[in-house]
Structure 1
Amino acid sequence: MNLTDIEIFSGHLQHMSVIVLILMIAEWGILLFSNYIERKKEGMVSIVSYLIQSIPYFLLSKIMIVGGMFLLYEYRLFNIGFEWYYWILAYLLYDFTVFFIHFLGHKVRVLWCIHGVHHTAEEMNLTVVARGSIFDVFFTPFNFMWLPILGFHPFMIFVIEPIARLYATLTHISEKYVGKYKWLDRILITPSVHRVHHAKNHIYLDRNYGETFSIWDQLFRTFQKEVPNEKIEYGIMHDKLNSESLWDVQFLLWRELWQDVKNAPTILDSLKYIFMPPGWNHINGGRKAKSYRDEAWKKRKVLKT
């Protein structure tokens, strides 16, 4: 495959977002018709979020994303060809970057205000994929924008990224259609593994950051399978957020961050509210995900004895 063929193929893949949107609406309609969905407005809020967040992508993609990638490629460190093994390497590097950026999205509060939008849905189905922040354009492109500096041609990335995104879409499919495939969990982020990531149960908090492969979570000890007799509850740990309100979904986390920054006693504390993990406070350090998770595991062990 030469560069011209790759360019043509990548052009076709740019329509992947339309395919993803069709899949979302189709599954959502089936689930609504079969009365499997309880929070019926969530899907609409997710799809509207998708349409809104597409606007900054449309306005900035050619300048900030595509232009930036071709500029980096001009200063590439290595001359990498289009042999099959380079495609595998590019996909692995992309997938690891997604894991790392995703990890930061849960550990840095200002990034959580962006990524946390995706976690506000309280039911799992394909429309959850559409539930992204209007500021997402300033976050997720870093999953792949840097790869051309290594020598991967931008058109290679324009092929890899939509394929990976389609796989990630399918990991959000409703449990009504896809159950558990334990033998795959150790290799791939299956729908079961990703359901754990979307859980607000304390025992599941901040687990399974991968997009395609689960090897990164296993390597960095963030991997967690579904636990027997621990039914998944979707959403985020927030008593006031309404998952069927577009305003709450897009802006409530930002408003609360602003209140904490404004009321912090020192400039250093204000900065910490921005960059420390969600749950941190200046009074006693707060409680972060690990604390809740450790406590939940202790309780589970006590109940077993």
Structure 2
Amino acid sequence: MNLTSLEILSGHLAHMSVIVLVLMLLELGILFLTNYIEKKKESIVSILSYLIQSIPYFLLAKIFIVGTMFWLYEHKLFNLDFSWYNWILAYLLYDFTVFFIHFLGHKVRVLWCIHGVHHTAEEMNLTVVARGSIFDVFFTPFNFIWLPILGFHPFMIFVIEPVARLYATLTHINEKYVWKHKWLEKILVTPSVHRVHHARNHVYLDRNYGETFSIWDRLFKTFQKEIQEEKIEYGVMHDTLNSESFWHVQFLLWKELWIDIKNAPTLLDKIKYIFMPPGWNHIDGGKKARYYREKAKKEKSIA
């Protein structure tokens, strides 16, 4: 594949968001007609979030994202061609970066205020993919923006990223249509694997960060299979957040972070509230996801 054909292909894939939106609306229409979902306004909030968060991407894409990637490519460390093995390497590096950035999105509170928006949905369907923060543009581009410095041409990334995003979209499909695929779970993130990631059940908290491959979670011991006896409850551990309120979804986590910072007694505590995991507090250290997860495993005798 030469640069010209790659540029043409990446241009076509730039419209992947339209395909994703069509898939969302198609599934949503079927779910509405069959009365399979209860929180119908939740999907509307998700799509509204998608439309609004697309604005900063549209305004900043060429300068902040594309411009940075081509500048990094000009200063690349290695000269990599378009050989098939470089495509595989690029995809693996991209997917591992997604895993790592995703992990940080759960472990750093200020990043959770951005990524946590995606987790506020209490029913699983493709529109959950659209449920992102209006500040996503300052977070998710780090999944891929750095790869050209290694020698991967930006147009390679412009092909890999939308393909991976399409796969990630399909992992959010409603459980009505896709069940468990145990043999696939050993390598890939399946809808069942990703359903676990969206669960607020204590035993499932902060598991399965992968986007395409489940090997990273298995390697770093963050993998959790769906337990037959533990029915998944979607959403976040929050008593007052309304998943059908655009204001709550986009800003409540930020409001609570600000209150904690304002009430913190010392400058160090204020800084810690920004960078420590969700659940941390300056009084006794708080109870984080690991505490709830390990307690639930002991109670349920899960290995």
TM-score category (smaller protein): over 0.9
Q: Percent identity?
A: 80
Partner SS, residue 60 of structure 2: helix
> What pairs up with 1:59-70 in 2 under 5 angstroms?
59-70=59-70
Please name the residue that 1:51 is paired with: 51
Q: For 1:22 and 1:53, how far apart are their aligned partners in 2?
A: 18
Q: Counterpart of 2:145 in 1: which secondary structure?
A: coil
What residue in structure 1 maps to residue 89 of structure 2?
89
Counterpart residue number, 2:287 = 287
> Which residue number in structure 2 is paired with residue 106 of structure 1?
106
Q: Which amino acid aligns with 1:276?
A: M
Partner SS, residue 179 of structure 1: coil
Q: Please give the alpha-carbon distance, in whole angstroms, between the structure 2 residues aligned to 1:93 and 1:76.
A: 16
Aligned-partner Cα distance in 1 for 2:151–2:24: 35
Distance in structure 1 (CA, Å) of the matches to 2:52 and 2:81: 37
Deviation by residue 1:73-95 (Cα, 9 ceiling, x = unmatched): 01000000000000000000000
Q: Residues of 1 paired with 2:21 and 2:257: CA distance?
A: 31
Instruction: Look up the match of 2:273.
Output: 273
**1:6, 1:84 → 2: CA distance?**
13
Q: Distance in 1 between matches of 2:224 and 2:148?
A: 33
The amino acid that maps onto 2:126 is L
- Check if 1:254 corresponds to 2:254: yes
Opposite residue 247 of structure 1, the aligned amino acid is W
- For residues 178-197 of structure 1, the aligned pairs below 5 Å read 178-197=178-197
Instruction: State how far apart, in whole Å, the 2-side matches of 1:299 and 1:228 are.
Output: 16
> How many equivalent pairs are there?
303
Q: What residue identity is the alignment partner of 1:138? A: F
Q: Which runs of 5+ in 1 are unaligned?
A: none
SS of 2:6's equivalent?
A: helix
Counterpart of 2:142 in structure 1 is 142
TM-score, scaled relative to structure 2: 0.99
Query: What's the counterpart of residue 159 of structure 2?
Result: 159
- Give the deviation of 1:243 after TM superposition: 0.1
2:40 match? 40
Task: Tell me which residue corresponds to 2:128.
Answer: 128
Amino acid in structure 1 at the alignment position of 2:274: I
- Structure 2: gaps (5+ residues): none
Query: Is 1:222 paired with 2:222?
Result: yes
Q: Distance in 2 between matches of 1:87 and 1:228?
A: 37
Residue 228 (structure 1) shift = 2.1
Counterpart of 2:122 in structure 1: which amino acid? E
The one-letter code matched in structure 2 to 1:284 is D
Separation (CA, whole Å) in 2 of partners of 1:226 and 1:152: 36
Distance 2:29 2:272 in 1: 43
- Give the secondary-structure state (helix, strand or coil) at the position aligned to 1:41: helix
With the length of structure 1 as denominator, give the TM-score of the two structures. Answer: 0.99
User: What CA deviation, in whole Å up to 9, does each residue of 1:94-140 have, x standing for no partner?
Assistant: 00000000000000000000000000000000000000000000000
| 2:220 pairs with 1:211 | no
Secondary structure class of the residue paired with 2:249: helix
> Could you tell me how far apart the structure 1 residues matched to 2:298 and 2:140 are?
35
1:227 & 1:173 partners in 2: Cα distance?
A: 19
**C-alpha displacement at 1:301, in angstroms?**
1.7
Following TM superposition, the consecutive aligned residue runs of length 4 or more in structure 1 with deviations greater than 6 angstroms are none
Question: What one-letter code is carried by the residue in structure 2 that aligns with 1:277?
Answer: P
Compute the RMSD of aligned alpha carbons: 0.9
> 1:71, 1:255 → 2: CA distance?
36
